Structure 1
Amino acid sequence: MSFLSTTNVSLSTLFAESSTNAALVSFLIYTAAVFVIAALSNRLLKSKSFLSEYFLGSRGLGVWAFALTFAATSSSGGSFTGFPSKIYSHGWILALWIGSYMVVPICTMGLIGKRLNQVARRSGSITVPDVVRDRFHSPILGLMAVSLIVFFMSFNLVAQFKAGSLILQTLLDGVSIFESTADGLAQAVAGIPYISESESPEYLLCLLVFGVAVILYTTYGGFHAVVWTDVMQGIVMVIGVIIMLPLAISQSGGLENTTKLMAKMTPPRISDPDKGGITLTLAEPAPETMRIESGTWITDTPIDDNKTPLLFRVTVENEIAKGETTVNEVKVLQLTTLDDIERILARRESEKFLDDVSVSNIDLKSYAYGEEGSQQGTYVVGPGPSPGSDSGFLPLSLAISFFFMWAISGTGQPANMVRLMAFRDTKTLQRSICTVAIYYTLIYFPLVVIFCCARVLLPGMEGDSDRIMPAMAVYLTEHIGMGWLAGLLVAAPFAAVMSTVDSFLLLISSAWVRDVYQRNINPEASEKTIKMLSYLATFVVGTAAMVVAINPPQFLQDIIVYVGSGLAASFLATIVYGLYWRRVNAAGAMGAMLGGFSVHLAMYVTGYFVNGSFFKPYQLFDFDPIIIGLFVSFISGFVVTKMTAPPPEELVHKYFYTTKADA
């Protein structure tokens, strides 16, 4: 008797059978290209000032290099992992959620780009804490900026490592050499505390491969390696999305058909993480220990029965011990839309099903908004379904919040500010604004369409929605007989994560080496010492993040939202005041930074006690913490400045009197 049907294969197995070689070759070629760029970039470090070149590219970026490195850094693992997951889970409302991202380059580049570049050149600043310290002539303020950057970026770096590893795991799942290597790694780390507790040996192997590759090329090549790999990765991302768009539309039957089907959809019923689920009972005792893998389908009604079957998908891996027949509290989700159920059963032979099993003790819960049978159409109109909020995913107040979240908070990101310190001249800035806006449009609007189509093509993935992007790439290419193309499409999200990780690595390492060591501990350090410490810091920071990512947090996109909004609340008011307000002083800048950070953090901590999760913040007046944090930051900076003495006249003269070179 076969409990797990031998004729049924998963998407990853299909991919492995037809395009294993292509996937491996694509990955190896891509990785080799990254290392070649890093090697070429390293040669530039030998002929120019090391610090300026390693962390800022000697401020010489042209239009395409500047625009694509800016765009690729912003288009992170959140854009190609967390964002598709949100679209899949909540539907068309995500177009409104992300719509303001088209104006990010206008806000970020237009609002602070030219002035920030001028101030950085006048002061000789290489990092964002450099700018803050020199503009306000305050070492304490500089160290405060370092602390906030390290605090927030450490969170984000772990999330990006997780995203890169999940993408690579989906690409290589089912490849024989990958599976055997993962098994060997599992045996090697068995019994080692913490490491052996990883999600799976496959995930651990992918984390090591991804982590080692990105750490080495960033450490060796510095800023130019990051910029030119960003250019390559930016091109890969947009090509991948453009290819996926027509494939998704055609295979889902067109946008009109997709929208009609989504209008009939109701959210799945889901297991409570702490208790409940379903009980599975086998027809006969298991002849050996049997794994019930995540993603396995279970139906409790024969296919030839006239009744609509109950259809469940396992969300957490389980085991049935040898000789046993029953396993309790299996975590699953249950499809509630008839069309989705019929679609999965119609392709039973290409899916993974658990056969000869009965289901009992069904203890699942409905979504708080979008409950089965009462709110059809919730995937095509606002506020979108939500498992935990009875006001839906994106009520009007949060829609307004996220407009500011993406458009305004992008201006307050230190990773973006570093790019603004590196462009060549004003013409480069002006042309790049248009270039990045067009680039974002080519990325984000198609992603909304593609992953709304994914709801029709791949139902039931809410339990593992962070992997919907690579799973969709595999599905689309397999169904046109071009499995080899999946390697290119999966390279798009992989490229997005790499381009973000390398930027964050440099940002954190520059904070330690430049802003802590050279500016405060040893100002007379030789270039050889700085060079060695820069390599060491980049390597150590990356390795530490990789180690933490062995057992990562589950909330990928929530972490990215927390970090983005927190950095904006901490830095935006300080930078804007410093660039444009002559009267602002160090005390005012410190008040703005601490005020925004404290209120933002307090709303997230309150959310932990009120909503049961740190990543479900308390929403004062129903607004996201980014709105409240920015408001408090600007107000506190203004009030403290007015209550304290004005800055020295020579400091104002240095940064507010235009010279011909700055024009």
Structure 2
Amino acid sequence: MSDYTYQMLAIVIYLVGMLVIGWYAYRRTSNLTDYMLGGRSLGPAVTALSAGAADMSGWLLMGLPGAIYFSGLSEAWMAIGLTIGAYLNWLFVAPRLRVYTQVSSDSITIPSYLDSRLKDNSKILRVASGLIILVFFTFYVSSGMVAGGVFFESSFNMNYHGGLLLVSTVIILYTLFGGFLAVSYTDFVQGLIMFLSLIIVPLFGFFLTGGFSETADSIRTVNPDAFNFLKGVSAAAIISSVAWGLGYFGQPHIIVRFMAIKSVKETKQARRIGIGWMILSLLGASTTALVGIAYFQQHPEASLTDPEAVFIALGQIIFHPFIAGILLAAVLAAIMSTISSQLIVTSSALIEDLYKAVIKKDDDDKKYVLYGRIAILIVSLVAMYFAWEKNSTILDLVSFAWAGFGAAFGPTILLSLYWRKINSIGALSGMVVGAVTVMVWGNIDALSGTLYEIVPGFILNLIVTMLVSTLTHKPNQAIDKEFDEALELLHKER
């Protein structure tokens, strides 16, 4: 068989495996809580790796190695910021959110939690949150589909639209039928594939480049400042990169995993697994880039035209074509895991937070599960429509949306878990200010080029929410009772 056939075989096996997992999850899904939140039954390993895989996307295997290959370790500050942010998210948000969403009306989405936690009878906060998620994630999913189409176009010379349809069809099928469980189980497997790939590529790469000492010498020959974290980086640039970590507190597709874990007790083990996976994966991605610099310096006949393809190129050089195909599947896994996670959260927002909360409240669970599946199909088709014309503007939305979610939801989530006086007026005011700040700041080059828009957005949301909540605070026995009950249950389960 040709190299192409071996690699395509590996991809087909991977895609079929995702569909099998979707079928297994379908058999375990019987009601809306199962479909939207997996029946709060996830174990620590599945919770941790599915959260990590949903988070990282193709940036982990292509964007980060490409940036470090091109500029050296001065590009690693974002990875450092993300690791710190993810750890703090697991430490401060995961245990409390797991308890509070259960105590407060057994909420299964972020908007429904905020609505119940703040006793917002107007439903404005819930609808606004649901609409933000629906709009941003539809474009977010679209950007992932573009990446999937580009992946097949660049890796297998497949027509862009053919690749787009193939990736989208597989994701739609397992997400539509298996719901949250399918997304979590596939993300777990995809997380494992990504992790193992990022360990074996640099490890075997060192044998080709002559070990640590010779590899380091080759890297310094190409770029004497490759190991300098501060070379050519301003203080504002470091703050902007590290500030990506702030986004974690407000990413619905990540923090929804905290709501789905079996118990608070298991969040500690999940945190250790998740952060361990993240640190080793990020180290693997960074080391892959450095090994790539050394290899292509030592073998000038093997040129690398695209720095972001350094992981794929090394995999094809080092391993048998079938193994190289599995490494290609790792890149595809990174793309697909994020799309499916965002798709299920978007469906939840459409059905649980817009249709069920506002339009019709009295259908049975089986009908809502059906509506959830229809919602996934509709959102997917809309996202595919936007992705049909390969558009770099959609791909640029990722950093903007990360900042938008982080600044709009992050402070609100944190305050709702730790400050009993936050109210719906304050939360809505802060969310609007945070989102508008990101939109304005991000569209003014002089500002966004100096400081990442999540920083002012997050800070202003925090200030406005606390100020407005303090000025409009009225004692509410139901809120106080739930707050105390959540704290009591938190201490008991720990």
TM-score w.r.t. length of structure 1: 0.69
Alignment match of 2:342 (pick from 473, 495, 504): 504
CA shift in 2, pair 1:378/1:601, >3 Å: farther
Alignment match of 2:82 (pick from 101, 105, 115): 101
| Amino acid corresponding to residue 641 of structure 1 in structure 2 | S
Range moving further from structure 2, 161-170 or 28-37:
161-170
| Amino acid corresponding to residue 103 of structure 1 in structure 2 | I
Residue pair 1:42, 1:221 contacting (<8 A) in 2 also = yes
Alignment match of 1:36 (pick from 20, 29, 49): 20
Provide the C-alpha distance between the structure 2 equivalents of 1:435 and 1:263, rounded to a whole number of angstroms.
34
| Amino acid corresponding to residue 321 of structure 2 in structure 1 | G
- For the residue of structure 1 that corresponds to 2:421, the secondary structure is coil
| Offset, 1:70 | 1.5
| Offset, 1:246 | 1.9
- For the residue of structure 2 that corresponds to 1:75, the secondary structure is helix
| Amino acid corresponding to residue 623 of structure 1 in structure 2 | L
| Amino acid corresponding to residue 119 of structure 2 in structure 1 | H
Residue of structure 1 in register with 2:165 after alignment: 208
| Amino acid corresponding to residue 21 of structure 1 in structure 2 | T
| Amino acid corresponding to residue 472 of structure 1 in structure 2 | L
Pairing 1:14-29 to 2, within 5 Å after superposition: 18-29=2-13
Structure number with higher relative contact order (C-alpha < 8 Å, ≥ 6 residues apart): 2
Alignment match of 1:114 (pick from 95, 105, 125): 95
1:425 aligns with 2:268: no
| Amino acid corresponding to residue 618 of structure 1 in structure 2 | S
Residue of structure 2 in register with 1:73 after alignment: 54
| Amino acid corresponding to residue 552 of structure 1 in structure 2 | K
Residue of structure 2 in register with 1:269 after alignment: none
Instruction: Show structure 2 runs of 5+ residues with no match.
Output: none
CA shift in 2, pair 1:146/1:465, >3 Å: farther
Provide the C-alpha distance between the structure 1 equivalents of 2:46 and 2:274, rounded to a whole number of angstroms.
11
Residue pair 1:42, 1:220 contacting (<8 A) in 2 also = yes
Residue of structure 1 in register with 2:191 after alignment: 234
| Offset, 1:142 | 0.7
CA shift in 2, pair 1:88/1:158, >3 Å: farther
1:650 aligns with 2:488: no
The superposition leaves residues 570-602 of structure 1 with CA deviations (integer Å, 9 ceiling, x where unpaired) of 101111111111111111111221111111111
The superposition leaves residues 109-137 of structure 1 with CA deviations (integer Å, 9 ceiling, x where unpaired) of 11111111111112211111111111112
CA shift in 2, pair 1:470/1:94, >3 Å: same
Residue pair 1:167, 1:467 contacting (<8 A) in 2 also = no
Residue of structure 1 in register with 2:315 after alignment: 473
Residue of structure 2 in register with 1:277 after alignment: none
CA shift in 2, pair 1:150/1:20, >3 Å: same
Provide the C-alpha distance between the structure 2 equivalents of 1:204 and 1:418, rounded to a whole number of angstroms.
32
Pairing 1:275-294 to 2, within 5 Å after superposition: none
Provide the C-alpha distance between the structure 1 equivalents of 2:480 and 2:94, rounded to a whole number of angstroms.
20
1:167 aligns with 2:14: no
Residue pair 1:104, 1:437 contacting (<8 A) in 2 also = no
Provide the C-alpha distance between the structure 2 equivalents of 1:541 and 1:222, rounded to a whole number of angstroms.
14
CA shift in 2, pair 1:536/1:660, >3 Å: same
| Amino acid corresponding to residue 183 of structure 2 in structure 1 | V
Residue of structure 2 in register with 1:559 after alignment: 397
| Offset, 1:558 | 4.7
| Offset, 1:531 | 2.3
| Amino acid corresponding to residue 481 of structure 2 in structure 1 | H
| Offset, 1:625 | 1.4
Pairing 1:35-74 to 2, within 5 Å after superposition: 35-46=19-30, 50-74=31-55
| Amino acid corresponding to residue 401 of structure 1 in structure 2 | S
CA shift in 2, pair 1:563/1:257, >3 Å: farther
| Offset, 1:93 | 1.3
Residue of structure 2 in register with 1:82 after alignment: 63
Provide the C-alpha distance between the structure 2 equivalents of 1:499 and 1:492, rounded to a whole number of angstroms.
10
Residue of structure 2 in register with 1:357 after alignment: none
| Offset, 1:454 | 2.4
Residue pair 1:108, 1:411 contacting (<8 A) in 2 also = yes
| Offset, 1:250 | 3.0
1:637 aligns with 2:475: no
Provide the C-alpha distance between the structure 2 equivalents of 1:582 and 1:504, rounded to a whole number of angstroms.
30
Provide the C-alpha distance between the structure 1 equivalents of 2:393 and 2:315, rounded to a whole number of angstroms.
22
CA shift in 2, pair 1:158/1:471, >3 Å: farther
1:618 aligns with 2:448: yes
Provide the C-alpha distance between the structure 2 equivalents of 1:113 and 1:59, rounded to a whole number of angstroms.
13
- For the residue of structure 2 that corresponds to 1:130, the secondary structure is helix
CA shift in 2, pair 1:215/1:552, >3 Å: same
| Offset, 1:556 | 7.7
CA shift in 2, pair 1:203/1:379, >3 Å: farther
Pairing 1:327-406 to 2, within 5 Å after superposition: 377-383=224-230, 392=232, 394-406=233-245
Provide the C-alpha distance between the structure 2 equivalents of 1:34 and 1:120, rounded to a whole number of angstroms.
30
Residue pair 1:218, 1:225 contacting (<8 A) in 2 also = yes
| Offset, 1:635 | 0.7
- For the residue of structure 2 that corresponds to 1:484, the secondary structure is helix
CA shift in 2, pair 1:511/1:70, >3 Å: same
CA shift in 2, pair 1:264/1:458, >3 Å: closer
- For the residue of structure 2 that corresponds to 1:108, the secondary structure is helix
Provide the C-alpha distance between the structure 1 equivalents of 2:160 and 2:224, rounded to a whole number of angstroms.
36
| Amino acid corresponding to residue 84 of structure 1 in structure 2 | P
| Offset, 1:83 | 2.2
Residue pair 1:584, 1:647 contacting (<8 A) in 2 also = no
Residue pair 1:216, 1:539 contacting (<8 A) in 2 also = no
| Offset, 1:658 | 4.5
| Amino acid corresponding to residue 497 of structure 1 in structure 2 | I
Provide the C-alpha distance between the structure 2 equivalents of 1:405 and 1:22, rounded to a whole number of angstroms.
38
| Amino acid corresponding to residue 147 of structure 2 in structure 1 | A
| Offset, 1:428 | 0.9
| Offset, 1:465 | 4.2
CA shift in 2, pair 1:535/1:42, >3 Å: same
Residue pair 1:103, 1:437 contacting (<8 A) in 2 also = no
Alignment match of 1:453 (pick from 268, 278, 291): 291
Alignment match of 2:131 (pick from 125, 129, 147): 147
- Which is higher, the Rg of structure 1 or of structure 2? 1
Provide the C-alpha distance between the structure 1 equivalents of 2:177 and 2:234, rounded to a whole number of angstroms.
46
| Offset, 1:467 | 3.9
Range moving further from structure 2, 626-635 or 77-86:
77-86
Provide the C-alpha distance between the structure 1 equivalents of 2:92 and 2:390, rounded to a whole number of angstroms.
36
Provide the C-alpha distance between the structure 2 equivalents of 1:116 and 1:382, rounded to a whole number of angstroms.
35
| Offset, 1:656 | 2.8
Query: Would you tell me which structure has more helix in proportion to its own residues?
Result: 2
CA shift in 2, pair 1:511/1:638, >3 Å: same
Alignment match of 2:444 (pick from 606, 609, 618): 606
| Offset, 1:236 | 1.0
CA shift in 2, pair 1:445/1:223, >3 Å: same
Residue of structure 2 in register with 1:581 after alignment: 419
| Offset, 1:456 | 4.3
| Amino acid corresponding to residue 569 of structure 1 in structure 2 | A
Provide the C-alpha distance between the structure 2 equivalents of 1:383 and 1:154, rounded to a whole number of angstroms.
37
TM-score w.r.t. length of structure 2: 0.91
CA shift in 2, pair 1:143/1:463, >3 Å: farther
CA shift in 2, pair 1:582/1:515, >3 Å: same
- For the residue of structure 1 that corresponds to 2:362, the secondary structure is coil
- For the residue of structure 1 that corresponds to 2:107, the secondary structure is coil
1:410 aligns with 2:245: no
Provide the C-alpha distance between the structure 2 equivalents of 1:253 and 1:603, rounded to a whole number of angstroms.
47
Provide the C-alpha distance between the structure 1 equivalents of 2:152 and 2:461, rounded to a whole number of angstroms.
40
| Amino acid corresponding to residue 174 of structure 2 in structure 1 | Y
Residue of structure 1 in register with 2:278 after alignment: 440
Pairing 1:542-553 to 2, within 5 Å after superposition: 542-553=380-391
